[in-house]
Chain A
Amino acid sequence: MAASGSQPLLAVRDLVKVYPDGTVALNGVSLDFMAGEVHVLLGENGAGKTTLARIIYGEIRPTSGEVIYEGRRVLFRGPWEAIRAGIRMIYQHFSLVGGFTVADNIALYGSRLGLSRREALEAARRLAEEYGFRIPFDARVSDLPAGIQQRVEIVKALLVEPRVLILDEPTSLVSPLDVEALFRVIRGLREKGVAILYITHKLREVGVIGDRVTVMRRGRVVATLPAKKATVDQLARLMIGERRLPEEPRIAAAGAAGERGAALRVENLRVVREGFEAVRGVSLEVRPGEILGVTGVAGNGQDELVEAIVGVLPVAGGRITLLGRDVTREPTWVRYRLGLAYLPGSRKLSLVQEMNALENLALGLLGAGKLRGPFIDWGWVAKLLVKYVEELGVVMHSPYAPVKHLSGGNQQKLALARILAVEPRVLVAVDPTHGLDIATTRIVHSILAEMRSRGMAILLVSSDLDEVLQLSDRVAVMNSGRIVSIKKPHEYTLEELGRLMGGAA
């Protein structure tokens, strides 16, 4: 760990970053990173964490201030220079070329490090083995679930041992087991003297993996403290400042789920994706006013289950009944009109990034058959937008700006506002709080709880165990395409969940 008085391996001094649109993302940030130390950077959405990382990695240039590496002032002209200097970054939104195979991505990265294709792939295989990652090297990246993409990212970053490793919210998409594996990797690198910059907004991770923690708020450093001594409450207060943290909704009491018939019923469902049977006989039921949580290690069939229910993937066997009607062979739009809504795991999928909030809402209404053509009553759409934007507290400058300019949290709130406006009866939500800070996460949880108490049937598919246990009336665990257990949340123990998710039932 950081020997006091020793030189930092990497430091930033008085960094200021003003984006071309005038957003001040960093407002005078100075930090040190020691060899053999895990420095956690904690902050809410929009605090400037990713901006800081991108500057160190040479991807964008600071407006002013400097980066000092190995005692020298550096200004990397691009990631290629940072990579050569021994700095690696694992991005929050993965940075693999989707149209390429895993092997191509690794070969390309390896070539930056002076490795031949064969050397790079050999190194990757060795690392994958060492960490127990199963990686399909010949698969196209865009076909892989997020959890596996992340493993590719990790392996890729470690092809040649780095001196500095930046991880931007590495645990937001993966299961607790993967997190354990990741932490083992990080600890191993720390022993070898790698300086690690670990970005997160999960308070609990700070004490587990960190040596020092820096809290950022609105582009400034609020405090730097020893990670092991900081309490969760203390960090939360530093992170959100004066504002009050919204309460987590209480779910267990309500029990709105009556013994009415199931709104969504899946019977013995089988789904094949690219010749692989990803879902192998899943049966489940979601009743009105109930949240059924589905969790599991990424890549165990959750994505395929969801896509089959929504109608994006064809069904190989079994039956899907929506509000009493067999929709197994119906196209997606029919399901939407019947009252199904879908909140995909990636915000990029749920909103059309280049279109504005009004247009996005209109599209949602159109899909659900609530907006009649051929002429659009924009006044009505705007009224709906205003109503739900206020209800959910979406912060946006203008309903006419492309939604890509909204922060992640606001995009997710907008996507939820659209679902409320559409008034579906069944909602399939995937990782609804992925990448959101605690304040926003709690708001989203309250919205979901509210939807449930309005009688919506919600299938909540999430790899965030806390979230699933917190919100669900019942929790299903998926492994290898099967549901291995369905129980009430309090009937599980954490060890049991870990075992079930790992497949050792």
Chain B
Amino acid sequence: MIGLIISLLVVATRSSVPLILASVGEVVTEKAGIVNIGIEGFMLLAGVVAAVVDYATGSPLLGLLAGAGVGFILGLIHGAASAKLKANQIVLGIGINILAFGIGVAVLNHVWGNPGQSAPLPTIPPIRIDGYFTTPMFLAAIAIALAAHYIMTRTTLGLEISACGEDPHSAEALGVKVETLQTLVTAVAGILHGLAGAYLVVDYIGQFTRDITAGRGFIALAIVVLSNWNTILALAASYLLGLAEATALNLQAILGVPALSDLLNTLPYIAALVAITIYGVKARAPAWLGRPYIKE
């Protein structure tokens, strides 16, 4: 029993990585006032590009880098369209999700001649600790979450970012480059979303499939609310939900009930609902979240 628990705890270090990366990125983006519901699409596009690069070069690390690059570019687009062009952020996000799915299938068809999945790909070597395997990406994700927390709470940059999401007009009057900062934050968070998607392909699963993200982008959005826009809490919640995923997989293997994993996947949403109800007014979104900042 203890052995099972330990092994679940260890598997969770692997399943939680994409949730940590994506939710931490989104916490920071939303703090800046931009909402990105296209995370799922970011992950998918980054994943497919990572798969192609990994496949072509045989280097999962290059695949990871490529995924980060894709995330950055998508983030730049989403950020600039939202912050500078004042586009509707929800519509943009939905658009990216739809586009990403189509591109994923098209690339699968083109490269591997199969609309469902790619060939198995080289993966990032795991770290072995006392007989258990985890991924170096888990450590990287924790470091990123801690760094983000430090930036948001201890630096003027963090203060500037929060000011954009709270009250962009005042932020600008206080000398903050609102539009530029919002764009850059969204782009940098895009890197995290891209890493999350690439990680699934070149590390966690070792293959690209059309539905590889399995709603993780949306779960990340729920975690953001659940964490009350706090990166440390987002890290913790991501790990717990990673644990839920690991448990679901294990139960599936033991009981042979695949439907259970779908059910368990609804856990974060239920948890978010419950938590929001319990916290009540305490969970407070940035005041200007998702609203275009129009100067004149």
With A59-B295, A98-B167, A117-B156 as known contacts, state yes or no: A109 contacts B172, CB within 8 Å. no
Stretch from B47-55, B132-140, B158-166 that touches the partner = B158-166
Cβ A79 vs Cβ B166 within 8 A: no
**What distance in Å separates the Cβ of B44 from its nearest Cβ neighbour in chain A?**
35
Asked if B144 lies at the interface with its beta carbon under 8 angstroms from chain A, I say: no
Q: A79 near B167 (CB under 8 angstroms)?
A: no
Report the Cα distance A60→B295, complex, angstroms.
7
Separation of A38 and B173 alpha carbons in the complex (Å): 22
Interchain CA distance A20-B296 in the complex, whole Å: 7
Interface assignment of A388: CB less than 8 Å from any CB of chain B: no
- With A19-B296, A60-B295, A97-B163 as known contacts, state yes or no: A109 contacts B175, CB within 8 Å: yes
Task: Point out the residues of chain A lying under 8 angstroms from B151, CB to CB.
Answer: none
Task: Name 12 interchain pairs, CB-CB below 8 A, sorted by A.
Answer: A79-B174, A96-B170, A97-B162, A97-B163, A97-B171, A97-B174, A98-B287, A99-B167, A100-B159, A100-B163, A107-B156, A109-B175
Which one of B156, B170, B176 lies within 8 Å of A80 (CB-CB)? B176
Task: Answer whether A95 and B169 are a contact pair too, CB < 8 Å, given A108-B174, A111-B156, A112-B175.
Answer: yes
Name A's B-contacting residues (CB within 8 A).
19-20, 57, 59-60, 78-80, 83, 89, 91, 94-100, 104-105, 107-109, 111-112, 117
The answer to whether A98 and B170 have CB atoms under 8 Å apart is yes
Report how far A81 CA is from B296 CA in the complex, Å.
19
Give the number of chain B interface residues (Cβ < 8 Å).
Answer: 19
Residue of B nearest to A95 (CB): B173
**List of A residues within 8 angstroms of B160 by Cβ:** 108, 111
Please name all residues of chain A whose beta carbon is closer than 8 Å to the beta carbon of B170 when the two chains form the complex: 94-98
The answer to whether B287 touches A79 (Cβ under 8 A) is: no
Most A C-beta atoms less than 10 A away, residue of B160, B166, B176: B176
**A79 CA to B176 CA, complexed, in Å:** 8
A331 to B169, CA, bound (A): 34
A79–B169 CB distance below 8 A: no
Whole-angstrom distance between the Cβ of A123 and the nearest chain B Cβ: 15
How many angstroms from the CA of A100 to the CA of B159 in the assembled complex?
Answer: 9
B294 CB to nearest chain A CB (Å): 9
In the assembled complex, the CB of A88 is this many whole angstroms from the nearest CB of chain B, namely 10
| B296–A107 CB distance below 8 A | no
Give Cα A78–Cα B174 distance, bound, in whole angstroms.
10
Q: How far is the CA of A98 from the CA of B163 in the complex (A)?
A: 9
Residue in A80, A89, A100, A109 whose beta carbon sits within 8 Å of that of B166 in the complex: A100
Residues of B within 8 A of A60 (CB): 295-296
- B156/A97 in contact, CB under 8 A: no
Partner of B173, one of A91, A100, A107, A111: A91
Chain B residues, CB < 8 A from A100: 159, 162-163, 166
Q: How far is the CA of A104 from the CA of B174 in the complex (A)?
A: 11
List CB contacts (< 8 Å) of B269-291 with chain A.
287
